[in-house]
A and B are shown apart, each in its own frame.
Chain A
Amino acid sequence: MLRLDGVTLNYGSFRALDGIGMHVKSGELVVMLGANGAGKSSLFLAVSGLRRLASGSIKVDGDEITGRKPSSIVQAGLVQCPEGRKLFPEMSVKKNLILGAYVYRNDKKANQRMLERVYGMFPILHGKRDAAAGSLSGGQQQMVAIGRALMGRPRVLLLDEPSLGLAPLIVKQVLEAVKAINEAGTTVLLAEQNAYAALQIAHRAYVIESGRIVMEGDRETLLGDERIRKAYIGA
């Protein structure tokens, strides 16, 4: 479904991604594990067309999307919920969600159904629908960000560290929502530092260090791996 080959990205003379090769199959929930600064966000931003590659290719369903505009990548079904959420802070929760469906703006009926689905998934957002998104708590803002991405009807959903800065209970809630989204049929690529929590819901995972993929495997393999336990789980 999503396939990356030799993806390389530079910030000036600094190489942030170095020949990344990976794939996500249709229906999978794949986790990208990596410490702070490993290159997860750079990878996600590159996939969404917000960072220009030095070389390499990114394909969705076999179609090359490298070099396309972010809006065209969203149209191709690749939607990202970014690190730091990047909401429209002074707009209402509802407006944020509606704008999530921007590329389908003429299909009002389906958007309304999608909106109901998001409210069903995060009932608290329904209660806060008229509040400015920036006035919500971190966990609620994360829900808005996930909801906004869902409104873009992703076939592949990229989630960049949705648990960052949230209390453990909220993290659990957010990751459960991610799992539900995947079980409802959306392919998910999830970036996380929190290996233990993320691996609970993942089918497969990659480990990224200094812009390189250093390990790949299914959940059991990685949960059982000594290095992973040391580096990312701390047990």
Chain B
Amino acid sequence: MNIFFQQLLNGLTLGSVYSLVALGLTLVYGILHIPNFAHGALYMVGAYMAFFATGSLGANYWVAMAASAAAVALLAVLSERLVFHRLRHAPPLHDMIAAIGLLLFLEAVIQAVWGADFRRLPSPYPQIVRAFDLTAPAQRLMIIAAAFGLMAGLHLFLKRTILGSTIVAMAQNREGAALVGIDATRVSMLTFAISGALAAVAATLFAPINLIYPAMGHLVIMKAFVIIILGGMGSIPGAIVGAMVIGFAESFGAFYVSTDYKDIIAFALLVLILSVRPQGLFTRGVR
């Protein structure tokens, strides 16, 4: 029972982190119509920003998370202004090449400053929580709670506020949005800022039970792509459900099959699901 519960908890933790990364990716896809390969680098930079804030500046974990979210949001907006906005009339392939260039650039900068060594972020909650014969590391519970809280907040923002609706409107009909007076530039900047902040929060949440290193974004972003392809590109519920599917598949796969194959499971699932449902699990756009 406890072992099954552990896997459930692990799956939920992974799914929570993947959700936050995939949500940013899918939101930007809805606006830009290209997969932003640089998103994984934003995630990585987020982890380093939190590491820097707690380690070198001695900040509290939550303050570090907020600072990291703000810094990466700014970085994401800069990437939109300096790179993607300038390519808006160029063929989509140029965006993709630029995104890969940005990814390599950010990794090189981080490696130049902090080196290629593995780093650790100490957990603010190293305790183990016990209830009904079950045990759970507090950090994992916190990741799940924070991620779900953030998802609920994002949902309310997109559905209930006019500002949030401009993102959804632009994803659903770009010219329609322009014709009601929604400024495409502002919406793009806002979307990038949100995606950057989500990536930084995901990285800061996950870092205490993981390692920080310049290439840490690779596997995460690949899985986030798998997730949004599974969930339907641009679909928000799809990103969350897809992330949970991958999270559970990995945790149970690692336990019942083998930890060695843990990272292959996501891709195996992709092939499997797409061969049955080529349009993904959800086909509608951003909602």
Contacts and interface: CB of A to CB of B under 8 A. Distances in A.
B173 A89 contact: yes
B55 interface: no
Interface string B157-183: 000001001101100110111111111
B181 A50 contact: no
A85 B162 CA distance: 21
Nearest to A75: B181
B176 A70 contact: no
A139 interface: no
A82 B179 contact: yes
Interface string B168-208: 11001101111111110000000000000000000000000
Given A99-B165, A102-B162, A90 B181 contact: no
B160 to A, nearest CB: 10
A90 B287 contact: yes
B284 interface: yes
Q: Which range contains the number of A residues in contact with the other chain?
A: 20 to 34
A90 B175 contact: no
B173 A99 contact: no
A2 interface: no
Given A71-B183, A102-B162, A105-B162, A88 B176 contact: yes
A98 B160 CA distance: 12
A95 interface: yes
B282 to A, nearest CB: 12
Contacts of B287: 90
B178 A70 contact: yes
A79 interface: yes
Contact of B179 (A75, A80, A90, A105): A80
A193 interface: no
A2 B173 CA distance: 27
Nearest to B175: A86
Nearest to A81: B179
Interface residues of B, number: 20
Contacts of A71: 178, 181-183
A100 interface: yes
Given A99-B165, A102-B166, A105-B162, A88 B181 contact: no
A152 interface: yes
Interface string A111-142: 00000000000000000000000000000000
B179 A99 contact: no
Nearest to A70: B178
Contacts of A98: 162
A214 interface: no
A69 B183 contact: yes
B173 A70 contact: no
Contact of A91 (B162, B169, B178, B182): B169
A99 B180 contact: yes
B41 to A, nearest CB: 31
Nearest to A103: B181
B268 to A, nearest CB: 32
A140 B215 CA distance: 52
Nearest to B285: A90
Given A71-B183, A88-B172, A50 B178 contact: yes
A98 B172 CA distance: 15
A105 B169 CA distance: 15
B169 A99 contact: yes
14 contacts: A48-B178, A70-B179, A71-B178, A71-B182, A74-B180, A74-B181, A82-B176, A87-B176, A90-B172, A91-B172, A99-B169, A102-B162, A102-B166, A102-B180
10 shortest interchain CB distances as A-B pairs: A86-B176, A74-B181, A103-B181, A70-B178, A88-B172, A71-B181, A71-B183, A102-B180, A102-B181, A105-B162
Given A48-B178, A82-B175, 4 more contacts: A48-B179, A91-B172, A95-B165, A102-B180
Interface of A: 48-50, 69-71, 74-75, 79-80, 82, 85-91, 95, 98-100, 102-103, 105, 148-149, 151-152
Interface of B: 162, 165-166, 168-169, 172-173, 175-183, 284-287
